[in-house]
Amino acid sequence: MEMEIGRILIVVGAALVALGGMLLILPKGINPTQWFGRLPGDIHYSSDRTEVYIPLVSMVILSILLSVVSWLVQRLLK
């Protein structure tokens, strides 16, 4: 059990290091998260005193990506 947790932490850490490296390599003017939260289907309402933001589509996409990553990690560890 402890060995599996160690492997999971190593895989997640390596993925975070790879993601951080990719973000450092990108040119300064490019923001890869610029589109996130501004997709069609994300709800944004603002008035004089109230602002409501509900990122529905962005959260669905994030959920799908995390599910795929979780599935891949489980497949690699078996």
Dihedral sign from CA coordinates of 34, 35, 36, 41: positive
At 50 the pLDDT is 94
pLDDT of residue 48: 92
Q: Look at residue 32 in the predicted model and tell me its pLDDT.
A: 64
Give 4-17 pLDDT, tens digit per residue: 778 878 888 888 89
The pLDDT mean for the chain works out to 82
Taking the model in full, what pTM does it have?
Answer: 0.58
The mean pLDDT value for 57-77 works out to: 86
User: What's the rounded Cα separation, in Å, for the pair 77 and 16?
Assistant: 18
- Neighbouring residues of 41: CB distance < 8 A, sequence distance ≥ 6: 56, 57
**pLDDT at residue number 10:** 84
Based on C-alpha coordinates, what's the Rg of the chain?
Answer: 18
